């Protein structure tokens, strides 16, 4: 950043004539440097887009699109009432449904405070095929009346959306 006193006195002849570039050359050099960095970043972005992006699906979409087993994704829907089972060693099983299709989810860990049967949920993990999903995270919500937007959309698609469930909720600034 800024330094009022130069570390050493500025030489009397700042630019040796031999290496002086014209303004145009300078600008080209600058653009080239910026171009290189941008290309590097664009390459990284494209690479990352292929590998580290997860799609969001509802249970019906998984069935319809024929998602391949082993795909990493987010799954959203409602936690089916009566489906939550607690096993030993913090293993939890529950069913995510959108009314037409359902997927069994297994998860090891602590559930967020607002995880409830009959409420919306978004989980991230790996689809294991034949209606099974292994979640490694269950996303928290900040408010109990809040319905994750993807879940609401997925439910709407399946015709199971009841308006009024998404009353305006207080927001965090």
Partner 1 sequence: MIVEIGHYALALALGVSIIQALVPFWGIVRQDRALASVGSSAALIAFALVALSFAALVTSYVRSDFSVGNVVANSHSAQPLIYRFTSVWGNHEGSMLLWVLILTLFGALVALSRNSVPPRLRAGALAAQGLVAVAFLAFTLFTSNPFERLSPAPAEGQDLNPILQDLGLAIHPPLLYIGYVGFSITYAFAVAALIDGRIDAMWARAVRPWTLLAWTFLTLGIAMGSYWAYYELGWGGWWFWDPVENASFMPWIAGTALIHSTVVMEKRDALKVWTILLAILTFSLSLLGTFIVRSGVLTSVHSFATDPARGVFILLILVFFVGGSLALFAWRAPLLRQGGLFAPVSRESALVVNNIFLATACATVFIGTLYPLVLELLTGAKISVGAPFYNATFIPVMVPLLLILPLGQSLAWKRGDLLGAAQRNAAAFGLAVLAALALIAFTRGGPVLAPLGIALGVFLVLAAGFDLAERIIARASGWHAMFSRAKGLPRSAWGTALAHAGIGLSIIGIAAQAWSTEAISVLKPGERLTSGRYTIVLEGVTPRTGPNFRAEVARFQLFSGDREMAPLEGSKRIYTARNMPTTEAGIRTDGLSQAYVSLGEAQDGGVAVRLYDKPLILLIWIGSLVMAAGGVLSLTDRRFRLAAPKRAAPAAAAPQPAE
Binding site for partner 1 (CB under 8 A): 1-8, 10-11, 14-15, 19, 21, 23, 26, 29-30, 33-34, 37-38, 40-41, 44-45, 47-49, 51-57, 74, 86, 90, 108-111, 113-114, 124, 139-144, 146, 148-150, 153, 166, 168-173
Complex with partner 1: residue 5 or 162, whichever CB lies closer: 5
Distance separating alpha carbons of residues 127 and 63, to the nearest angstrom: 11
CB of residue 129 to partner 1, shortest distance in Å: 21
Complex with partner 1: residue 54 or 81, whichever CB lies closer: 54
CB of residue 69 to partner 1, shortest distance in Å: 19
Which two structure tokens, joined as six digits, stand for 162? 């009841």
Distance separating alpha carbons of residues 167 and 146, to the nearest angstrom: 8
Phi, psi of 115 (to 5 degrees): -75, 120
**Rama region for 80: left / alpha / beta (φ>0; ψ in -120 to 50; rest):** beta
Complex with partner 1: residue 41 or 81, whichever CB lies closer: 41
CB of residue 120 to partner 1, shortest distance in Å: 11
Residue in 127, 120, 123 with CA at minimum distance from that of residue 151: 120
Complex with partner 1: residue 66 or 130, whichever CB lies closer: 66
CB of residue 7 to partner 1, shortest distance in Å: 6
Residue with tokens 């994704």: 73
CB of residue 137 to partner 1, shortest distance in Å: 9
Distance separating alpha carbons of residues 90 and 56, to the nearest angstrom: 26
Which two structure tokens, joined as six digits, stand for 81? 């009432």
Complex with partner 1: residue 109 or 130, whichever CB lies closer: 109
Which two structure tokens, joined as six digits, stand for 167? 């009353």
Task: Tell me the three state secondary structure of residue 16.
Answer: coil
């Amino acid at each position: 950043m800024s330094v009022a006193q130069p570390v050493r006195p500025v030489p009397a002849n700042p630019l040796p004539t031999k290496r002086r570039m014209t303004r145009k050359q300078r600008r080209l050099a600058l653009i080239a440097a910026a171009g290189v960095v941008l290309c590097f970043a664009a390459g990284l972005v494209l690479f990352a887009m292929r590998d580290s992006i997860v799609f969001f699906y509802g249970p019906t979409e998984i069935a319809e699109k024929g998602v391949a087993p082993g795909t990493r994704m987010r799954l959203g829907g409602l936690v089916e009432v009566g489906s939550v089972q607690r096993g030993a060693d913090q293993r939890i099983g529950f069913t995510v449904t959108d009314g037409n299709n359902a997927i069994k989810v297994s998860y090891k860990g602590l559930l967020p405070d607002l995880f409830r049967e009959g409420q919306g949920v978004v989980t991230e993990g790996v689809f294991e095929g034949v209606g099974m999903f292994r979640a490694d995270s269950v996303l928290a919500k900040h408010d109990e009346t809040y319905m994750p937007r993807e879940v609401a959309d997925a439910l709407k698609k399946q015709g199971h959306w009841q308006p009024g469930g998404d009353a305006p909720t207080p927001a965090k600034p």
